[in-house]
Amino acid sequence: MNIAHIIPSSVCYPLATHNGRYDWVYQLATRQAREGHTVTIYGGSDSFVEGVHTVGLPTPSNDKRQNNTQLFRLAFSHDHDVYHSHFDNLHYSVAHETTRPVVYTQHWWPTDETVQAAKDARSKNVWAVPPTKFMYEHDQTAGIQSRGHIYHGIDLDVFQPSTATASYRLLFVGRISPEKNLELAMISAKKAGASFDVIGKIAPKNATYWQSLQPLIDGTTIRYLGTKNHSELIDYYTAARGVLFPSDINEPFGLVAIEAQACGTPVIMQRGGSRGELIAEGTTGFLCSNEADYASAITSLSSLSPTDCIAFAHQFDIRDMTRRYDELYAALSEN
């Protein structure tokens, strides 16, 4: 197939800094190209991706929305079988300019603006791809057109246990922001008498939140380790006693949970939303509602098997994810 991926015009490959969303696009696009598809990424004009065509606007303006709208039109001017958007809702305003299917992976939880855009769309050729059953059910209720969910996948040839020595420390990996509920993890770890490492990026807008956490970080029992690349993360996942994922918002997915289990490490998550789809409760992790639950789960981590964690993670293989996208593209193109 001839596949177009459309990302913001401000995003260039190779990525200057880690961004999980656009790294995911990169992984999907390059795998599709290796499997014989013709793949084009429309985004930053200076992008380079081996094996993939890259196209950008020749003279972008200072208006981001205008640039991104023009990027869609540039993509539509070329003969692709399917257009795969990685925006929250911009595609709804321009999809009527092509008769081909436009799919979009829901990298964000649908906002009210997205729900309204779906209702107001001038054509019905836009198909959402929710990454969990929970989001699919929400889409059905909200009137967002979808053919079903496709779980995000990870490269299981990369994410697997390393030779790192067990540290018996707990671990948090992710963006450091209020909605991630990091203070709950820190307090729970202290109650359980466990040491805890934090890995993640601190955006300037979250500096005040980060300052509020400083009384809990002593540099020994609780440590901040900055950001890490994939190979470093695999060592930390492998060595960890368990990974805490305390976010209590409607997350689109939770790749950290799958990456950790693929490395043989159990995960403790906040109960609710799609999080029950990302672990096998009582076998590869625990779902919690409060500090007491977290403290109890931490003390129970030794009862869980790394082998069970790895086996569970194998249902989130990027090869299966790619195959399901191929099947979706083909089905929509036949209509």
pLDDT at position 20 is: 84
What pLDDT was estimated at residue 249? 85
Whether 57 and 75 have beta carbons less than 8 Å apart is answered as: no
* CB count in 10 Å sphere of residue 241: 18
- In this prediction, residue 179 carries a pLDDT of 92
Give the span between the Cα atoms of 137 and 209, in whole angstroms: 33
Strand partners, 78: none
C-alpha distances out from residue 252 to 59, 102, 232, Å = 34, 20, 25
User: Two tokens at 247?
Assistant: 């976010």
Q: In the block, which residue shows the tokens 């040491």? A: 195
pLDDT in tens, 319-331: 999 999 999 999 9
* Residue 92: pLDDT band with limits 50, 70, 90: very high
Measure Cα distances from 55 to 8, 50, 52, 241, 267 in Å. 12, 13, 10, 44, 40
Give, as one character, the DSSP assignment of residue 314.
Answer: G
Predicted pLDDT of residue 187: 94
pLDDT tens, residue by residue, 123-154: 999 999 999 999 999 999 999 999 999 999 99
Place of tokens 């209590």: 248
285-288 β-sheet, strand order: 222-224, 196-199, 170-173, 242-245, 267-270, 285-288
pLDDT, tens only, 94-126 = 999 999 999 999 999 999 999 999 999 999 999
Domains 2-153+318-334 and 170-316 share a fold: yes
Q: Using 50, 70 and 90 to split pLDDT, how confident is the model at 306?
A: very high
Fold of 170-316: Rossmann fold (3.40.50)
Query: Which pLDDT score, from 0 to 100, does residue 19 have?
Result: 83
Would you state the pLDDT for residue 238? 98
222 in helix, strand or coil? strand
How would you label 201-239 residue by residue, b for 16+ Cβ within 10 Å and e otherwise?
ebeeebeebbeebeebeeeeebebeeeeeeeebbbbbbb
pLDDT confidence of residue 132: 97
Share of the chain above pLDDT 70, in %: 100
| Average confidence (pLDDT) over 195-211 | 95
- Say if CB 41 and CB 49 are below 8 A apart: yes
pLDDT band (50, 70, 90) for residue 25:
very high
Task: Note the pLDDT of residue 81.
Answer: 97
Chain mean pLDDT for the chain: 95
Where do the structural domains in the chain lie, given as residue ranges? 2-153+318-334, 170-316
Residue 52 has pLDDT above 80, yes or no: yes
pLDDT tens digits for 254-280?
Answer: 999 999 999 999 999 999 999 999 999
| pLDDT tier, 70 (very low <50, low <70, confident <90, very high otherwise) | very high
Residue type, 192: A
pTM attached to this predicted model: 0.94
DSSP helix/strand/coil, 321: helix
Most distant pair of Cα atoms in the chain: their distance: 60
Does the pLDDT value for residue 335 go beyond 80? Answer: no
Class of domain 2-153+318-334: alpha beta
pLDDT tier for residue 250 given thresholds of 50, 70 and 90: confident
CA-angle at 328, arms to 327 and 331, nearest 5°: 85
Q: Exposed e or buried b for every residue in 282-291, given b needs 16+ CB within 10 A?
A: eebbbbbeee
Q: Is the pLDDT at 6 greater than 90, yes or no?
A: yes
How far apart are alpha carbons 180 and 245 in whole angstroms? 8
